[in-house]
Amino acid sequence: MAQQIADRRDVDFVLYEQFDAESLTQHERYRDMNRKMFDMVVSEARNFSIKEILPLNEEGDRVGLAFENNQVRVPESFHRAYRLLCEGEWIAMTEDPEIGGQGLPHLIAQAAAEYIVGADFSFGAHGFATHGAAKMIEVFGTGKQKEMFLSNMYSGRWGGTMVLTEAEAGSDVGNLSTTATRNPDGTYNITGNKIFITNGEHDLTENIIHPVLARIEGATAGTKGISLFIVPKIWVNEDGSLGEPNDVVCTGIEEKLGLHASPTCQLAFGGKGNCRGLLLGEENKGMRVMFHMMNEARLGVGALGLFNASCAYLYAVNYAKERLQGRDLSEMMNKDAPQIPIIRHPDVRRMLMWMKVHAEGMRSFVYYVAHLFDRTECAGDEEERTRLQDLVDLLTPVIKSYCTDRGFECTVQAIQCYGGYGYTRDYPVERLMRDSKINSIYEGTNGIQAMDLLGRKLGMKKGAVFMDLLGEMQKTVSAARQAPGLEGSAEKMENAVNQLGNLAMHIGKTASSENFRVAFAHSMPFMDVVGDTIMAWMLLWRAAVAAPKLEKAVGRAEGEARAEKIRKNKNAAFYEGQLQSAAYFIESLLPLTLGRIQSIQADCRAVVDIPEVSFGG
Ligand SMILES: Cc1cc2nc3c(=O)[nH]c(=O)nc-3n(C[C@H](O)[C@H](O)[C@H](O)COP(=O)(O)OP(=O)(O)OC[C@H]3O[C@@H](n4cnc5c(N)ncnc54)[C@H](O)[C@@H]3O)c2cc1C
């Protein structure tokens, strides 16, 4: 079976029919661009993905990495694809052309990233992390640092990482023990051991630039005493040329469940007392700088949840159309009845539908946030810019946590659709499941994201940002009321939005009362409710766009005549799929979310009250 990646029809629907990407060209920033150009970018990304990146999965997963003499070798096939990634300028899609970028809108770059990063994250992580590290230097670096690093990183000639984690400092970054001491020449000496560093060592690039969190000797404990340093694997002279190797040694790589071609490295900085770094930003303000990269990475990892879900769904739906097994329900007793493709069994359709609605809902959600970045850049006044940026901040933990959890669950459902074959290495869905599990763990575990949503984001501007989000949902409810046949769904959605508002007030109050532990014991269920409601919102929005177009395509035809028209018209079939997705989510899944709202409001104390000894173990 052909390797699967994002459905182009759905990508185009979200870009042009849901979010009207073409209208971006009316803004000064994108004045010289047009639809044709956007289409070309997405098509090139898709072709590159299908021809060069998807095929890497096989060797990457089965052969993986080689580690010898403190050096990591990536699979041979990665080298050609990486060269093409750099030549295609895919690393800095949204950056200004003057600094080596393509100057594209975030919305279009998101679609391209779905093809390039989503095809194989062992490979995609190279561009992903390098971009994040370079962006930090672009935003917080000195003029000299930008000159020294930016073009070589955005072009992909040098790789980038993010270096936070230590054995005793995982979720609790503030507990790190890596130290920095000032040198007379303005550089800093870095000493410490880091673990789990993605792409900390490899042979794809001539240099690797590590942004390293460390504490300057004498600085206060906790996150407030942390600074950030640019630590090149090979020292970079002020004129940008390469100097001596720096004292950074890869002492080992992890053996992992998935992402077998992605080096997860243990790095020793300053083992010989000779590791130099440059301060990025101000002393003791490193976390503020690093959060820039972490937020970008959280959105990027959340998007991976969508990418995994989308691939898993497409594999499952194609398999289900081909695999013959069992007879039609109406022919159960007829031994002579022919076997049917499993897609005709209602329970298989249920699984496919579950994957379909989540893949589509997440695509709209992830692209919506990308579009918020564009709208922020194009906004006419400061107040609107702040409002849109606040929405991005509020939604970042939701994208990270909800999408990665649902993405993983979609890969599990895909295995279930395949039956026993799905559990074998003969089919790609078991690899997808293994590769996608990490997404809920790194870039801040999903548990920590849920705490962030409840503890920080919900209360932003005294709850006004959350209320603004609910207001955005209401706009879709109003639009859906005007669309043919969506009155009932709009009403149910409105009820869910109101209930979410009540829940937010309830759990917000509990979180700031003496019962705060009870609230935080429900932070993940609250995250699920927020994410589910966003799915319903996005799917209703899609349906409101699709309904009039479908009506136009099939006219007043009913029954078999209507079905026939839908079978014969690809666009009509797509729009009908949108109506069915919204109906399924709102009728079948949203009531479960409403039940979850009730369960959170019941403030069950068991999780908090159970004595540790009663856990057994
Ligand atoms: C493949 C891979 C790649 C990685 N890449 C990088 C990288 O490039 N750079 C980097 O710096 N790190 C990287 N990491 C590290 C990753 O970010 C950490 O593993 C993650 O932050 C969790 O830290 P930990 O493993 O120490 O788990 P812990 O922090 O020990 O967490 C264990 C469990 O306890 C929960 N928990 C911990 N503290 C709290 C709390 N205060 N409240 C509620 N629950 C809590 C967590 O949610 C989790 O469920 C990578 C890890 C892996 C496996």
pLDDT digits (tens, 9 = 90+) for 145-180: 999 999 999 999 999 999 999 999 999 999 999 999
Q: What is the pLDDT of residues 336-357, one digit of tens each?
A: 999 999 999 999 999 999 999 9
Ligand 1: centre distance to CA 444 (Å): 6
What distance in Å separates the CA atoms of residue 347 and residue 505, rounded to the nearest whole number?
38
- The CB of 438 under 6 Å from ligand 1? The reply is yes
Q: What is the pLDDT of residues 15-40, one digit of tens each?
A: 999 999 999 999 999 999 999 999 99
**Cβ count within 10 A of residue 268:** 18
pLDDT surpassing 80 at residue 261: yes
Share of the chain above pLDDT 70, in %: 100
Query: Whose CA is closest to atom 29 on ligand 1?
Result: 171
Cα torsion for 537, 541, 542, 545, to the nearest 10°? Answer: 170
Ligand 1: centre distance to CA 427 (Å): 30
Q: What is the pLDDT of residues 444-456, one digit of tens each?
A: 999 999 999 999 9
pLDDT surpassing 70 at residue 540: yes
Residue type, 409: E
For the residues 575-591, what does the mean pLDDT come to?
98
What distance in Å separates the CA atoms of residue 135 and residue 164, rounded to the nearest whole number?
17
Question: Hey, is 283 helix, strand or coil?
Answer: coil
Catalytic residue selected from 95, 443, 494, 576: 443
Closest ligand 1 atom number to CA of residue 441: 20
- The CB of 589 under 6 Å from ligand 1? The reply is no
Q: Residue 380: which pLDDT band, with cuts at 50, 70 and 90?
A: confident
Strand partners, 211: 230
- The CB of 162 under 6 Å from ligand 1? The reply is yes
> Active-site residue 217, yes or no?
no
Domains of the chain: 8-154 (1.10.540.10), 461-617 (no CATH)
What distance in Å separates the CA atoms of residue 67 and residue 52, rounded to the nearest whole number?
24
Looking at every residue in the chain, the average pLDDT score rounds to: 97
CA distance to 70, 184, 256, 260, 261, per residue, from 66 (Å): 10, 39, 14, 10, 9
Q: What is the pLDDT of residues 490-500, one digit of tens each?
A: 999 999 999 99
Tell me, what's the pLDDT at 332? 86
Q: Helices in 253-343 by DSSP H: which ranges?
A: 286-322
- The CB of 441 under 6 Å from ligand 1? The reply is yes
Closest ligand 1 atom number to CA of residue 262: 1
pLDDT surpassing 80 at residue 613: yes
Ligand 1: centre distance to CA 473 (Å): 33
For the residues 298-306, what does the mean pLDDT come to?
98
Q: Residue 1: which pLDDT band, with cuts at 50, 70 and 90?
A: low
pLDDT surpassing 90 at residue 2: no
For the residues 139-143, what does the mean pLDDT come to?
98
Structure tokens at 10: 């759905």
What distance in Å separates the CA atoms of residue 190 and residue 80, rounded to the nearest whole number?
34
Structure tokens at 386: 């702040």
| Residues 499 and 597 sit within 8 Å (Cβ to Cβ) | yes
Stronger pLDDT, 5 or 201, i.e. the higher one: 201
- The CB of 170 under 6 Å from ligand 1? The reply is yes
Place of tokens 């395949």: 418
- H or E segment and range at residue 132: helix 121-140
Task: Tell me the HSE value of 150 on the side-chain side, using a 13 A CA sphere.
Answer: 21
What distance in Å separates the CA atoms of residue 152 and residue 99, rounded to the nearest whole number?
10
Nearest one of 59, 41, 166, 60 to 108, comparing CA atoms = 41
| Residues 247 and 273 sit within 8 Å (Cβ to Cβ) | yes
Closest ligand 1 atom number to CA of residue 213: 11
Ligand 1: centre distance to CA 120 (Å): 22
